[in-house]
Structure 1
Amino acid sequence: MNRLAVVAAAWVLSVIAGHAGAAERPAAAPTPTNADEVFQRLGAEFVAADRSDGLSIAVVENGQARFYNYGTVSRQKPQAPTEHTVYEIGSITKILTSLILANAVGEGKVGLQDDIRRYLPGEYPKLAFDGEPVRLIHLANTSSALPDNLPALPADAEQAPFQAVAALKRITDQHVYTALASASPSDRPGHEPRHSNLAANLMGGILERVYGQPYEALLARYVEQPLGMAAGTGEARAALLATGYNRDRAAMPALDARSVLAGGGLRYSTADLAKFLGAQLSAKDAAIRLSQTPAWGDADNVAVGFNWIISKTIDDQLHLRHSGGTFGFSSYIEMYPQRGYGIVLLANRPGEAQGQLQELANRATEALWGKPPVLTALESALQASAYRDVAGTVAQVRREHRALHLTEDYLNQWGYRLLADKQTAQAVALFGYAAQQWPDSWNAFDSLGEAYELAGDRDRAIANYQRSLDLSPSNGNAAEHLRKLRQQP
């Protein structure tokens, strides 16, 4: 086992061992009957609410998989999906590509700190920022600061998906490398995660050059065959592919352009991804353990592994997740290693369906295990104090519930739920606490600025938007709100 694999294994073991003593014991595992009731209700509601035409769910718990399917794979010829129905998985592809990279690291083929230019054809003098090159680790942990797509997609890609897919099909490796010669990172690599299909596609191309094999062969060798998954590329299962639809229920083109294969072009069924998720939960393989190790950030707040988003729940449970979307599909995958539980959801609608799949997963988790006692205690205490002293209330609850764990992202979502419920003063208090806890977070101040703006406090809204912009000059949302607020009399 190489040094990085040892580090990964040690991290996983330390997290599990450390949490075993500190975290409150979760509620008893749900019974299959209870799980069936939960998913039958939530899945049926999802399709009935017209959030997707079809929905397939795989639930993996303690090595056992269960499948739930709803709706239809086609509006033209209604047919219920099964666990073998194939969907486009979008950016979840990046996790699988990153797993191939983890294997390459374990085999000594590449080093994570290698400058990516070492593996690219030609000269790319601009692939650095203030002397810091883009490294392989930056491609894996989403902090490369590279453009999202290169060559850039048409500006109206979402409105003209058929033309966009046709354009993607015409892009060759040479087109990408030619455009890359004049591209540069927008920020210091390693500074901040951001979405980049280009980064993942470059990762796939680098792996092809390192191994001298096509991406499809590497995917089969390191992911599909070891885990017993069917092929996620090619036309062998075209008859099983669901039809993707946009929010207006118009059929969308299949995303079958090889130029985006490594970054978002794979297709799988829930039967396939249940096997992938089971292997991720057991984490017996060194490459899988490495891919789950934080490579950016801190899991106590938020971290990124090899494209996995890593955080902890409010009751201190480790949580890994990712989502994806194409012109006609959405996907979501998450797991709680300490519970031995994970879920995959696939839908044939894009856009907001991604967030709705995550919401369904969250509702299922609460229905299966119940609301964490620490959350109940904190909600009650905050309501009793009318959110007047969030910091003091959190400290008080933490004395009784040592497992209380708050992340910036969790507080941010909570705050926006309060805003949606018209509890503006409470949201201001919660966002204010988040800004105190994470004074270097542009997002915390951006959210606080928005809450003050909705509360009608123009001066404090301007001050917090400006603080957010100072921390992140590329924050267009803060810049736009500042422009409008300063124009007001």
Structure 2
Amino acid sequence: MKLRLLATVALFCTVAPAFAAGSSKDPGTEQMRMDRTFERLGNQFIQEGRTDGMSIAVVKDGKAHFYNFGTTTRGKVQPPTEKSVYEIGSISKIFTSLVLAHAVEEGRIGLQDDIRRYLPGDYPNLAWEGTPVRIVDLANTTSGLPDNLPNPFPQGKVDPDKAPFIALEAMKGFAPDQVYEELKAAKLGAKPGTKPQHSNLAADLLGRILEKVYGEPYEALIARYVEKPFGMASGTGRSRAADEVNGYNKRQVAMPRLYERAFLMAGGLRYSTTDMAKFLGAELAATDPAIRLSQQPVWGDTDEAATSLNWNLNKTVDGKLRLRMSGSTFGCSSYIEMYPELGYGIVLLANRPGETQNEMQELATHAMEEIWGKPPALAAFENALQAGNYQDVTRIATEVRRQHPELHLTEQYINLWGYRLLREDKPKQALGLFRYNAEQWPQSWNAFDSLAEAYEKLGDKPQAIANYRKSLELDPTNQNGAYHLKKLLAR
């Protein structure tokens, strides 16, 4: 099963500086390479039907560069611009977490506080064998709380083109305090602080708690601590509806815009690339203590995977720190990443939901390699893998590290690489990478699940069954493994 981002914040005390688009077109310059790369990759993205419209903002060394592709409305020639507004989905969570960081810096709240201290009523269920859900757990994805509460999404078989409209109508019917009533019966899925899992409810509760702490609505807090300091336009309400793109699902069906407050704090903000470039610039500068706090890891290990306050952190294949997050709504997708050591960040916004956020991540990765070149450690590793036909990857990695000690391989990086090979119809090569993951991370259910998929692709039924069983031993809740195992045993 392909690992995805946990669909995974800044502030100046004064007005953020303006970012002017670069204008250098001299052959051979970094700017020229950047322009050529994004123009080619962006146009290809549209031509392959991955989205109808897409806007990209790149910030490098304090300057912003903008690229726009496709159309904001199907069937019309309406190219997006850096002023076009998109729903940013779960990237909203890092905005909420930035307000939290300010509250911590101001002494209004503590990251280790039991969340029940700020909730109305009694919630003995919000603890796991004496371990309570803490404020930090709401912001680092380890709360153990359900994903959505109340849950607006229809159950059972429903036309996928109609499901978003049904969910939206359900949201409109939610009472303001309905979440608290349903929260009393909610069950934690894991011990708080131990297992990352997506939860819109966690972000919603965090926003509600911040409203209580400050005695002000969420919209006012976002304006005070994010939008006004950075010079961003408002990301709430309908004031910029005329600039909003129209969103479509993968079957090109028009999707509804998401204005309901029930989803606002978890994924309801909307911005243009002009806004997001200012946000990225402030994040990279990190001149405010609240920004720095929001970027510090509070769960996990950055050598493999970690989480700060709703940023996902890890290291690149050559050991550089990367912060990233993605999001999706009914009709839009977003992806953001930054590399503090390089002074570089990028945000991509599209009017297509779901898998598009992962595809934009791949575009960002390809752009990095084309603009600044493939890291020597990765080039050496790829050459050695090809020479050895992807066999005995553990030995190959050890040998490459003798010349390139900076080579940094994570489970997720290898996992995504393996799935790219599967899509390219190279299952034997993918198998070698998945074997490496199972050897290096023997307690990872996902490593064995992916290994089983490769064996299944190759027609090796006994090995596929054995590895799906191993994956389910490590995580009995692995639905993908259970489904494939049942299918294989029935043959």
**What TM-score do the two structures reach when normalised by structure 2?**
0.90
Report Cα offsets for 1:427-450 as digits up to 9, x if no partner.
222212111211221111111122
Q: CA deviation at 1:58?
A: 0.5
Amino acid at match of 1:57: I
CA distance in structure 1 between the aligned counterparts of 2:275 and 2:254, rounded to whole angstroms: 25
CA distance in structure 1 between the aligned counterparts of 2:410 and 2:96, rounded to whole angstroms: 28
Given that 1:30 and 1:369 are in contact with CA atoms closer than 8 Å, whether structure 2 keeps it comes out as: no
Q: CA deviation at 1:486?
A: 2.7
1:355 alignment counterpart: 358
CA distance in structure 2 between the aligned counterparts of 1:271 and 1:343, rounded to whole angstroms: 12
CA distance in structure 1 between the aligned counterparts of 2:190 and 2:476, rounded to whole angstroms: 11
Given that 1:132 and 1:188 are in contact with CA atoms closer than 8 Å, whether structure 2 keeps it comes out as: yes
1:469 alignment counterpart: 472
Q: CA deviation at 1:386?
A: 2.5
Q: 3-state SS of the aligned residue for 2:177?
A: helix
Of 215-224 and 145-154, more deviation after overlay is shown by 145-154
Amino acid at match of 1:351: G
Q: CA deviation at 1:158?
A: 4.3
2:242 alignment counterpart: 239
Report Cα offsets for 1:344-397 as digits up to 9, x if no partner.
111111122212211211121111011111111111112222233211111110
Q: CA deviation at 1:48?
A: 2.3
Q: Any unmatched runs of 5+ in structure 2?
A: 1-27
Q: CA deviation at 1:277?
A: 0.6
CA distance in structure 2 between the aligned counterparts of 1:43 and 1:136, rounded to whole angstroms: 39
Q: CA RMSD in A?
A: 1.6
Select which of 421, 444, 463 maps to 1:460.
Answer: 463
2:117 alignment counterpart: 118
CA distance in structure 2 between the aligned counterparts of 1:107 and 1:157, rounded to whole angstroms: 48
Given that 1:158 and 1:327 are in contact with CA atoms closer than 8 Å, whether structure 2 keeps it comes out as: no
1:51 alignment counterpart: 50
2:6 alignment counterpart: none
1:13 alignment counterpart: none
Q: CA deviation at 1:30?
A: 6.0
2:172 alignment counterpart: 169
Q: CA deviation at 1:76?
A: 5.8
Given that 1:60 and 1:278 are in contact with CA atoms closer than 8 Å, whether structure 2 keeps it comes out as: yes
CA distance in structure 2 between the aligned counterparts of 1:202 and 1:130, rounded to whole angstroms: 22
- 1:203-214 equivalent positions in 2, closer than 5 A: 203-214=206-217
**Does 1:138 find its partner at 2:141?**
no
**Does 1:74 find its partner at 2:77?**
no
**Does 1:411 find its partner at 2:414?**
yes
Q: After TM superposition, which residue ranges in structure 1, 4 or more long, deviate above 3 angstroms?
A: 156-159
Q: CA deviation at 1:424?
A: 2.5
Of 476-485 and 290-299, more deviation after overlay is shown by 476-485
**Does 1:94 find its partner at 2:97?**
no
2:336 alignment counterpart: 333
Select which of 285, 294, 298 maps to 1:295.
Answer: 298
C-alpha change, 1:157 and 1:319, in structure 2 (3 Å) is farther
C-alpha change, 1:126 and 1:159, in structure 2 (3 Å) is farther
**Does 1:480 find its partner at 2:483?**
yes
Of 253-262 and 361-370, more deviation after overlay is shown by 361-370
- 1:202-281 equivalent positions in 2, closer than 5 A: 202-281=205-284
2:18 alignment counterpart: none
Q: CA deviation at 1:77?
A: 5.0
Given that 2:227 and 2:233 are in contact with CA atoms closer than 8 Å, whether structure 1 keeps it comes out as: yes
Q: CA deviation at 1:250?
A: 2.4
Report Cα offsets for 1:114-162 as digits up to 9, x if no partner.
1111111111111122222111111111111211111112234843222
Report Cα offsets for 1:299-354 as digits up to 9, x if no partner.
10111111111111111111111111111111111111111111111111112221
CA distance in structure 1 between the aligned counterparts of 2:430 and 2:72, rounded to whole angstroms: 41
Would you tell me which structure has more helix in proportion to its own residues?
A: 1
Amino acid at match of 2:81: T
Q: 3-state SS of the aligned residue for 2:309?
A: coil
Of 114-123 and 66-75, more deviation after overlay is shown by 66-75
Q: CA deviation at 1:56?
A: 0.9
CA distance in structure 1 between the aligned counterparts of 2:159 and 2:271, rounded to whole angstroms: 24
Amino acid at match of 1:421: E
Q: 3-state SS of the aligned residue for 1:73?
A: coil
2:320 alignment counterpart: 317
CA distance in structure 2 between the aligned counterparts of 1:346 and 1:439, rounded to whole angstroms: 37
CA distance in structure 2 between the aligned counterparts of 1:249 and 1:150, rounded to whole angstroms: 29
Given that 2:305 and 2:313 are in contact with CA atoms closer than 8 Å, whether structure 1 keeps it comes out as: yes
Q: CA deviation at 1:420?
A: 2.5
Q: Any unmatched runs of 5+ in structure 1?
A: 1-28
- Tell me the matched-pair count: 460
Of 399-408 and 131-140, more deviation after overlay is shown by 131-140
Q: 3-state SS of the aligned residue for 1:111?
A: coil
C-alpha change, 1:286 and 1:244, in structure 2 (3 Å) is same
CA distance in structure 2 between the aligned counterparts of 1:369 and 1:182, rounded to whole angstroms: 52
Q: 3-state SS of the aligned residue for 2:384?
A: helix
1:10 alignment counterpart: none
Given that 1:60 and 1:277 are in contact with CA atoms closer than 8 Å, whether structure 2 keeps it comes out as: yes
1:19 alignment counterpart: none
C-alpha change, 1:356 and 1:298, in structure 2 (3 Å) is same
**What TM-score do the two structures reach when normalised by structure 1?**
0.91
CA distance in structure 1 between the aligned counterparts of 2:334 and 2:370, rounded to whole angstroms: 21
* Aligned sequence identity (%): 59
